[in-house]
Amino acid sequence: MRVSRRTFLKTALVGTTFLVGSKYFKKGFTEVSKDEGIKYVRSTCSPNCTGACGFNAMVHKGRIVALIQAADYPEEEYNPRGCLRGQSMVNLIYGPDRLKQPLIRVGKRGEGKFKAVSWDEALDYAATKLAEIMKKYGPESVASFIQVPGTGYVQKGALVRLSSALGWSVIHAYTMNGDLPMFWPITFGVQTEELESLEWANSKYTLICGSNILWTRVPDAKFLHLSRERGGKVVVVDPNYSPTAAAADEWIQINPSTDSAFALGLAYVILTEGLYDADFVKTYTDLPLLVRLDNQKKLRAEEVAGLSAQARAMKARLPEYRECYVVYDVNSKRLVIPDPENLKRNFDPLLEGELEVTLVDGKKVKVKPAFQLLKEEVLANYSPEKVAQIIAPSSDRVKEYEELIKRIGREIATIKPLHIVYGASNYQWYHGDLKGRAYSLLVALTGNLGKSGAGISTYAGQYRIRWPLGAWWQFKGKPLKWVSFLLWLNKEFRESEVFKKYNTETPYPPNDVKALVFGWGNPFDQHNLANRLREKALNGELELIINFDFQMATSVAWSDVILPGVAWYEKYDLTATILHPYVQLQQPAIEPLFQCMPEIWICKELAKRVVEKLGDEELKKQIREFYVNPELFDKEEEARRKGEWNLKLARELAHQASLDAADIMLKTGGPLVEGITLEALKKGPVRLNLPTPNKRQLVFYEQIQEYKPFPPVSYPAPLPKTARFVKSGRIEFYKDEDVFIDLKETLPVHKDPIKETEHKIMKEKYPLIYITRNRLYSVHSTHSNNITMLELQDFRPRVWIHPDTARKRGIKEGDLVEIYNERGKVYAYAVLDPGIHPQVVTFEEGWWSRYLRGTSYNTLIYPWIKPTHIIYFVPGIWEASTCWNEAACEIKKA
């Protein structure tokens, strides 16, 4: 007997909550119930996956004995959010690596020898050193960083506030993590945009390109299944067969980093068969805009005879970041200036053809709509026959791939809504931007934006914040200074001709970076150039390293002063990541362990003490306002004077100050958080006031449905900073900044990987590609030392290789192998996996050095910086990034 899948779903989905309260269970009650001694506290699991899952801590005698998903999201489908990592978080809170008190280094850096000291001693020592460096080299020589702000607006914000108060430089974690999906600002002018996973279920076609969301988005993965249960199709495009591919209808194996060819091959089918949504293309994209053939720039209205006066008048009323371009209206048969601030169209622009235009100076130039140029490019270079040669993993499959490209092209053009998930593993290549631009083209050509279940999403590198947080993050409104991690550690690039040629606005501290203050990160083994960071620590160029952590992670051993922080069950914080639109609180389920303290207090104390040492009278007077309510600051100082100060009091005040900070951020946050109160958040998650039906998180809803110009604002960057990326107010596939013209990347094109980067070393000695994917058992570095997660990995790091690759090198299943190139090496145990592309070696990132025989898996990787990244500098949106997977290697039995 069967019911329809939908009927079953309906019952299945209400099932979970229904069961919890079900009276059927009452029958099973024993007389013995001793649960009175247990209380549950709701907090938010907040590591760098940004999943932000509500968890209930089961507290007994002041300790968290277990955790279980809170399952309190109003949309029943979301419940329960949370995964194996969050469920076993107690292993980190109470585990052997937990820090107990402040430490000052006594041995060599990296050696891990410390003396335990009092908070006063540690803070005064840190403050004295910081003040010295600030006086000697300038305050901007102190660099700070936090990771993923959305996971903790209050505590992470406190370090930003401290940096703002003291004039330090901030390193945006983006450049360290290298997961900058550059196609977003290039094409849409935003940091990122994405569907919330609830919307995946509404897609009828999901194209997942190089993303393993079954591992990286465990609580969201079910929505892929829901989509399929509701009749949707899921296709995975990936060099490797992944668990996500296993959950899909189809797996298309392509050669590494050839996605742009694949996407443009699909575009070929769509363009040649006339399957594109012409209305969408004309209304929302820059493809109808005319491009000058003589200089490859978009034709500006001001240059055109007969339009210049109108253009000047328009520009006078437009924001500075806008530019007036030109289309040819086939209805009125004349040139028209589309309004860059309003996408509503009262003209019918020419898409194909060539025109001659007279410029103001009388010169005649040939112009074509960008669409015409795109079509020429795609037709010339991306026929299914040509593309199949590039993407097919073996020559005997080329014919099959030609047919496949045609079929998929037709499918994505006709089955709607289409959602493309573009994975971080895929955009972390030198030409990651081109691939993203090509995939974006597909959603635009098929009109799949601004609707339920439609769009393109990247579920990594989402560094936006949800609303303006200046009231807390900036101390008395002081602006932030910035420095780029990669430029700091990559002097040869900083001094290169390319950098000098294209860089116009990237700041750099005049006396270099001399001190590093950081928390929530593990830069000494988790980042590109970690080896250089270690060098700088060893040779003394880096004079001071201060670290907030709650565990003995690798970077602790490299730090001079360790100020022990807390986990998200020991403090108040405000969480609002980009992954789903819920605002949530972290709430203390227990007292901070040992002498650990909430980071807001550590930052406040550092601020106070540095200001004293600096002797800056003005700042001294102001610093009591570090806590939003200066009375809390005064109260603690008074207790100190009276000799009544103790940790408990300091913690109570810090908790209150954290709530105050959360409160002020909500009260000054504008319409998105209007009406969201602390009281409501204490009870559970509250959805942001998104301007969409049912407040759903959709991709560019207002632009598509309400004709608002691109881009929507990406907080915290002010709109003028990002809107200049898309001056036309439209989705831009034709880029005419000089660098794009120089690199022949005005349009999305395919460029082979490795060619411009590792070609030489690959040709000579290292024929394999070293890919570092995310593990199921950690969130990057977090949970690397989780004993339960280690057990599930047989207690050892593993590397996944194709059986042929292994056989050629005499490697058998389970062998210890060395993966190496001329820059570094790493050890792991071989897993022979026939789903791995034969040219690829897949290592799992996040491992601490201590599990890798002291090596760091990042030493093999060199951060190639593409010139397109440096023409603007907007922290975390458009700046130099790395490309982890563009790395050649060889592998041998160790």
Interactions with another protein, residue window 573-602 (CB under 8 A) = 593-594
Query: Which residues from 239-278 bind another protein, rule CB under 8 A?
Result: 241, 243, 245-247, 249-251, 253
- Which of the stretches 1-9, 465-473, 531-539, 570-578 binds another protein when contact is defined by CB under 8 A? 1-9
Site for another protein in 188-217 (CB under 8 A): 214-215
Does residue 228 contact residue 249 with C-beta atoms inside 8 Å?
Answer: yes
Stretch that binds another protein, among 58-66, 541-549, 626-634, 677-685 (CB under 8 A): 58-66
Rounded distance between C-alpha atoms, residue 667 and residue 360, angstroms:
52
What is the CA angle 530-534-539, rounded to 5? 150
CA–CA distances in Å: residue 429 to residues 72, 115, 839, 842, 871: 39, 43, 15, 15, 19
Cα 637 to chain center, whole Å? 40
Q: Which residues pair with 98 in a beta bridge?
A: 551
Task: Indicate which single residue of 6, 22, 763, 892 sits in contact with another protein (rule: CB under 8 A).
Answer: 22
Rule CB under 8 A: is residue 751 a binding residue for another protein?
no
Amino acid identity, position 69? Q
Residues numbered 30-49 forming contacts with another protein, rule: CB under 8 A: 30-35, 37-38
**Rule CB under 8 A: which of 115-174 touch another protein?**
none
Q: Is 221 in the site for another protein (CB under 8 A)?
A: yes
Q: Report the site for another protein in 74-93 (rule: CB under 8 A).
A: 80-84, 87-88, 90-91
Q: What Å distances lie between residue 186 and 225, 382, 741, 879, CA to CA?
A: 32, 22, 14, 12
Smallest separation, CB 534 to another protein (Å): 19
Only segment of 132-140, 221-229, 526-534, 701-709 that touches another protein (CB under 8 A) = 221-229
Neighbours of 294 (CB within 10 A): 11
State which residue, 267 or 390, has the beta carbon closest to another protein: 390
Q: Least distance in Å: CB of 237 to another protein?
A: 13
- Of the residues 795, 807, 812, 893, which one makes contact with another protein according to CB under 8 A: 795
Among 389, 835, 839, 894, binds another protein (CB under 8 A): 835
Cβ proximity to another protein: between 277 and 591 the closer is 591
Residue 347: how many CB atoms within 10 A of its CB? 18
The stretch near another protein (CB under 8 A) out of 25-33, 151-159, 339-347, 362-370 is 25-33
Comparison of 326 and 790: residue with beta carbon closer to another protein: 790
Does position 98 bind another protein by CB under 8 A?
yes
Task: Please report whether residue 396 would count as binding another protein according to CB under 8 A.
Answer: no
Nearer to another protein, 214 or 688 (CB): 214
Q: Does 524 bind another protein (CB under 8 A)?
A: no
DSSP 878: B
Binding piece for another protein, criterion CB under 8 A, among 219-227, 371-379, 428-436, 650-658: 219-227
CB closer to another protein, 38 vs 379: 38
State the minimum distance, in angstroms, from the CB of residue 15 to another protein: 5
Give phi and psi for 32, each to the nearest 5.
-90, 105
Which helix (H) or strand (E) segment holds residue 207: the answer is strand 205-209
Per CB under 8 A, the list member of 128, 132, 225, 816 interacting with another protein is 225
Cβ proximity to another protein: between 707 and 829 the closer is: 829
Please give the size of the binding site for another protein, defined by CB under 8 A.
91
Report if residue 1 touches another protein, rule: CB under 8 A.
yes
Q: Minimal distance in Å, beta carbon 831 to another protein?
A: 5
**Helix-strand-coil percent breakdown of the chain, rounded to 5?**
40, 15, 45
Q: Tell me, what amino acid is at 612?
A: E
Stretches 68-76, 179-187, 700-708, 875-883: which one binds another protein (CB under 8 A)?
68-76
Q: Are 106 and 113 in contact, with CB atoms under 8 Å apart?
A: yes
Q: List phi, psi (to 5°) of 457.
A: -135, 150
- C-alpha distances in angstroms, 305 versus 232, 299, 308, 309, 328? 52, 12, 6, 9, 14
Residue of 3, 330, 360, 379 interacting with another protein (CB under 8 A) = 3
First to last CA, the chain: 57
Lay out the site mask for another protein across 800-819 (x = CB under 8 A, - = otherwise). x------------x------
Of the ranges 668-676, 741-749, 754-762, 827-835, which one interacts with another protein (CB under 8 A)?
Answer: 827-835
> If binding is defined by CB under 8 A, does position 458 make contact with another protein?
no
User: Dihedral (C-alpha) 81, 83, 87, 90: value to the nearest 10 degrees?
Assistant: -110
Contact indicator for 710, 307 with CB cutoff of 8 Å: no
Ranges within 530-559 binding another protein (CB under 8 A): 552
Contacts of 390 (CB under 8 A, 6+ apart): 255, 258, 261, 750, 752
Give the shortest CB-833-to-another protein separation in angstroms: 5
Nearer to another protein, 319 or 835 (CB): 835
| Given 138, 833, 839, 894, the residue binding another protein (CB under 8 A) | 833
Alpha helices in 451-490 (DSSP H): 470-473, 485-489
Options 446, 526, 785, 855; binder of another protein; rule CB under 8 A: 785
Instruction: Sketch the per residue contact string, 851 through 870, with another protein: x for CB under 8 A, - otherwise.
Output: x-------------------
Query: In the set 110, 152, 219, 876, which binds another protein (CB under 8 A)?
Result: 219
Q: 242 or 528, CB closer to another protein?
A: 242
Q: Which is nearer to another protein, 82 or 863 (CB)?
A: 82
Scan for tokens 């998903």, then name that residue: 69
Please, what is the minimum distance in Å from the beta carbon of residue 27 to another protein? Answer: 5
Instruction: Collect all residues with Cβ–Cβ distance below 8 Å to 752 and sequence separation of at least 6.
Output: 257, 258, 390
Q: Is 761 helix (H, G, I), strand (E, B) or coil?
A: helix
**What separation in angstroms does the CA of 272 have from each of 285, 377, 379, 402, 661?**
19, 12, 8, 15, 56
The SS3 assignment for 357 reads: strand
Place of tokens 């881009």: 711
Q: Does 65 bind another protein (CB under 8 A)?
A: yes
Q: Establish if 95 lies at the interface with another protein (CB under 8 A).
A: yes
- Minimum distance from CB of 495 to another protein (Å)? 40
Cα(536)–Cα(669) distance, integer angstroms: 40
Scanning the structure block, which residue is given the tokens 């602790």?
A: 556
Rounded to whole angstroms, the Cα distance separating 661 from 471 reads: 9
Q: Are the C-beta atoms of 891 and 841 separated by less than 8 Å?
A: yes
Find the part of the chain contacting another protein (CB under 8 A) among 11-19, 575-583, 673-681, 696-704.
11-19
Is 51:582 a contact under the CB 8 Å cutoff? Answer: no
779: β partners: 782
